Amino acid sequence: MTAELDYSFRSMGSEVRLLIGRPLHPRALPALEAADREQAFVRDFARRLSRFVTDSELSALNHDPRRRVPASALLRAAVSAGLWAADRSGGLVDPTLVQALEGCGYASSLDGAVPASLQDAVNAAPPRRPAKPRLAASWHAVRVDDEAGVIVRPPGVMIDTGGTGKGLCADAVAYRLAAYTRVVVDCGGDIAVGGVGARLEPYEIAVEHPITGESIGIVRLARGGVATSGLNVRIWRNADASFGHHLLDPATGAPAWTGLIGVTAIGSSALEAETLSKMALLLGPAGARSVLAEQGGVIVHDDGEVETIGRLDLRPDRRAAGVPA
């Protein structure tokens, strides 16, 4: 394999990793300079779209009393991505659950916090059932008007771009690095793969078990996206000893316990893969099999059992290290 730059930094509450091959034409920046540029882009993206930053563009939108709110191209793109995911998932991946998230204990960033025990949470979880969309969900009332440069929504409806933002960011950075032979952009488990070199020599991406942290196996990806959604990273114990996590059942506004603790999905983009992985996890085993059948994926049941869905070729991981999914 041709040598490529391996570059990591922390942003968006997670590790961001870039793999960049050689430039395709003389005017392209050296890989290290391109990586520095993309680090600045990602950090700016994260700061402007964080609901945990009081003066971010997203916070300003969420607290604006007007129905029509002027918004930058970045904010409009992020809200559009959230609405796309909601529509694609039939309302399961709902970007307007901010108040429910805060009510469940996710009112501030969990970056740096030690997650609660997933095994303990699974043992204490209520009866499993698939999540359902909300009736008359608020996201239906949100509209992005690019021509006018505004976002339209009923005052008081708050939007969270965190769920789809990492996928959108990974896709954006991969697009910005199109002048290089091979590219991987990993934004906290939302991974975009691109470049002509990757089509000739696909990347091997390791899938991590949410309980053990060990590699389940590797998937080969030449282009598009792969994303993993799981309960192991953002899970906490509340004051009443109950457990909370960030994947909510829109119908109840409470953490979803569906019989799955992790899902890895393949998509045509990181945004699509992220949406499919969350949609599959929220639907539980039977629904996940249907969602992942076409492009493939991996589901992990509450008891730790791993199941491969569709045509996905999950191979044993015999490498010492890989690109974490």
- Predicted confidence at residue 319, as pLDDT, reads 62
What is the C-alpha separation between 60 and 58, in angstroms, rounded?
Answer: 5
Q: For the residues 149-153, what does the mean pLDDT come to?
A: 98
Backbone φ and ψ for 28, nearest 5 degrees, come out as -70, 145
- Predicted confidence at residue 308, as pLDDT, reads 96
- Predicted confidence at residue 313, as pLDDT, reads 84
Pairing, β 260-267 against β 215-221: unpaired
Question: Which one, of 222, 240, 184, lies nearest residue 20 by Cα?
Answer: 184
- Predicted confidence at residue 163, as pLDDT, reads 80
61-99: per-residue pLDDT in tens?
Answer: 999 999 999 999 999 999 999 999 999 999 999 999 999
What is the C-alpha separation between 6 and 8, in angstroms, rounded?
Answer: 7
- Predicted confidence at residue 321, as pLDDT, reads 43
For residue 2, pLDDT beyond 60: no
What is the C-alpha separation between 60 and 156, in angstroms, rounded?
Answer: 12
Q: How sure is the predictor about 57, in pLDDT bands with cuts at 50, 70 and 90?
A: very high
**HEC profile of the chain:** CCCCEEEEEEECCEEEEEEECCECCCCCCCHHHHHHHHHHHHHHHHHHHCCCCCCCHHHHHHCCCCCEEECCHHHHHHHHHHHHHHHHCCCCCCCCCHHHHHHCCCCCCCCCCCCCCHHHHHHHCCCCCCCCCCCCCHHHHCEEECCCCEEECCCCCCCCCHHHHHHHHHHHHHHHCCCECCEEEEECCEEEEECHHHHHCCEEEEEECCCCCCEEEEEEECCEEEEEEECCCCEEECCCCCEEECCEECCCCEECCCCEEEEEEEECCHHHHHHHHHHHHHHHHHHHHHHHCCCCEEEEECCCCEEEECCCCCECCCCCCCEEC
Q: Residue for token digits 């939007």?
A: 159
For residue 187, give the amino acid letter.
C
For residue 102, pLDDT beyond 50: yes
Which domain covers residue 239, as residue numbers?
5-324
Q: Which two tokens stand for residue 148?
A: 């006018």
- Predicted confidence at residue 111, as pLDDT, reads 82
Q: For the residues 221-229, what does the mean pLDDT come to?
A: 96
| Residue 40 CB partners (closer than 8 Å, separation 6+) | none
For residue 323, pLDDT beyond 80: no
Pairing, β 323-324 against β 203-208: parallel
Mean pLDDT over each residue of the chain, to the nearest integer: 94
- Predicted confidence at residue 109, as pLDDT, reads 86
Specify the range with the lowest mean pLDDT, choosing from 14-18, 90-94, 231-235: 231-235
What is the C-alpha separation between 304 and 21, in angstroms, rounded?
Answer: 36
Specify the range with the lowest mean pLDDT, choosing from 148-162, 168-182, 243-257, 311-325: 311-325
For residue 298, pLDDT beyond 90: yes
Hey, which residues does 193 pair with through a beta bridge?
184, 224
Looking at the structure of the chain, the number of domains it has is 1
**Which CATH number does the domain housing residue 114 bear?**
3.10.520.10
116-126: per-residue pLDDT in tens?
Answer: 999 999 999 99
Q: How sure is the predictor about 325, in pLDDT bands with cuts at 50, 70 and 90?
A: very low
164-222: per-residue pLDDT in tens?
Answer: 999 999 999 999 999 999 999 999 999 999 999 999 999 999 999 999 999 999 999 99
For residue 270, pLDDT beyond 90: yes
